[in-house]
Structure 1
Amino acid sequence: MSAIRIEKVVTSGTFSLDGGTWDVDNNVWIVGDDSECVVIDAAHDARPILDAIGDRTLTQILCTHGHDDHLGAVTDVLAAHPDATVSIHPDDRMLWDAVMDQPPTGALTDGQQITVGGARLDVLHTPGHSPGACCFRIADEGVVFSGDTLFQGGPGATGRSFSDFGTIVESIRSSLLSLPPETVVHTGHGDDTTIGDEAPHLAEWIARGH
């Protein structure tokens, strides 16, 4: 069996919501082995994502949430891999439907297990940044893909529609900070962090919201 590969591709584009548009760089994560993989958040530009997939079989695109900067390359990646599926949590369908012409082909649920290339990804529903936000944990590799739920320095943004600060802090507390402290957090934007680096700041985040 091939070893698990975790690769990061950074793509650039814009994020638009509530009438505003901002320039952003997104982390796209490709997880699998030498024969098959999944893509976590097909953002902005399909070309570097397809280059990273190479000649492997793409089984799924997994969406951490439905903001448009995380969905921009979905259509083009699927066009190149028509047998792959794309999944998002149903609570983010209103965000998906605002920018996508076709419905997703799969629905993510809390506790769901997704296997690819010998790796098992556990789905963690972590609402707050958006109602359907999800993280993906690979326990055997000691990593979690946090999307925009947890960053180096604290929770993701909650100042826009469909987001809530109290909800995201509770999601992080209950679903992420309970993971082993050495767990590496692969984020949706910016640098990695660890659960151990972020956990001591929970009280500060709570105070920030009051």
Structure 2
Amino acid sequence: MIDRVITSGTFSLDGGTWDVDNNIWLVGDAREVVVIDAAHDAAAIAERVGGRTVKAIVCTHAHNDHINAAGELAELTGAPIRLHPADQVLWEQHYGDAVSYEPMEDGEKIAVGGIALQVLHTPGHAPGAVCLYAPELSVLFSGDTLFKGGPGATGRSYSSFDTIIESIRERLLGLPPETVVHTGHGDSTSIGAEAPHLEEWITRGH
């Protein structure tokens, strides 16, 4: 069972602020869910969760627009926040030391509702960026690493174009082409649909 909540707010980094719409993904069953990227509106996310238990609030990375409702949602649900520790510097920019998280490791599997979400560390958009792969569902939750039409943005602090391309090539392009990619913003796509575009990005560089 996969639900999507779309929330609106702002993304701020390097002195700039932009209006954004974020996808929040709920994965699980009728009893329990994992929330992927608690953005902007904890109440709206909690409403969609309903009476289910939140096993974890997983952050694909720590840009403020992906974590700014995580603290409040954790208070509402009692769920732990999970984040790759390489994004500590970004986490501190938003929360300081007021909200804590449990470190998440590459290769770790987060179990919920009879499935496993495998953590794939895919740095580039952010140092601690991860994707979550559910092979039983043929689904990848890509955060801001991979979008419909190409890789995530790398023009701001703590990001690297070469690194994100390597992450996508090494960690994502080998997944089955029919794998559906649910992104952090905008429309979903598939590995098969994006592979040709990514070869073009790799060939031409920036």
TM-score tier after normalising by the smaller chain length: over 0.9
Partner of 1:49 in structure 2? 45
Partner of 1:179 in structure 2? 175
Unaligned runs of 5+ residues in structure 2 are none
- Retained in 2: the 8 A contact 1:122–1:136? yes
Equivalent positions of 1:76-95 (< 5 A) are 76-82=72-78, 84-95=79-90
Structure 2 counterpart SS, 1:29: strand
Equivalent positions of 1:1-210 (< 5 A) are 5-82=1-78, 84-101=79-96, 102-210=98-206
Structure 2 counterpart SS, 1:141: coil
Distance in 2, Cα, partners of 1:149 & 1:30: 19
Distance in 1, Cα, partners of 2:99 & 2:86: 13
1:104 offset after TM fit, Å? 3.0
- Retained in 2: the 8 A contact 1:88–1:104? no
1:44 offset after TM fit, Å? 0.5
- Retained in 1: the 8 A contact 2:142–2:182? yes
Distance in 2, Cα, partners of 1:154 & 1:104: 32
TM-score (norm 2): 0.97
| More moved, 62-71 vs 92-101 | 92-101
- Retained in 1: the 8 A contact 2:125–2:145? yes
The percentage of counterpart residues that share the same residue type is 60
1:183 offset after TM fit, Å? 0.1
Distance in 2, Cα, partners of 1:44 & 1:208: 36
Unaligned runs of 5+ residues in structure 1 are none
Aligned length: 205
- Retained in 2: the 8 A contact 1:113–1:122? yes
1:208 offset after TM fit, Å? 4.1
| More moved, 43-52 vs 61-70 | 43-52
Residue by residue over 1:66-106, the C-alpha shift from the partner in whole angstroms, topping out at 9 and shown as x without a partner, is 00000111122112112x10010010000001101434331
TM-score (norm 1): 0.95
Structure 2 counterpart SS, 1:9: strand
Residue by residue over 1:124-177, the C-alpha shift from the partner in whole angstroms, topping out at 9 and shown as x without a partner, is 000000000000000000000000000000000000000000000010011111
Task: State the Cα RMSD in Å.
Answer: 1.0
- Retained in 2: the 8 A contact 1:87–1:104? no
1:114 offset after TM fit, Å? 0.6
1:59 offset after TM fit, Å? 1.3
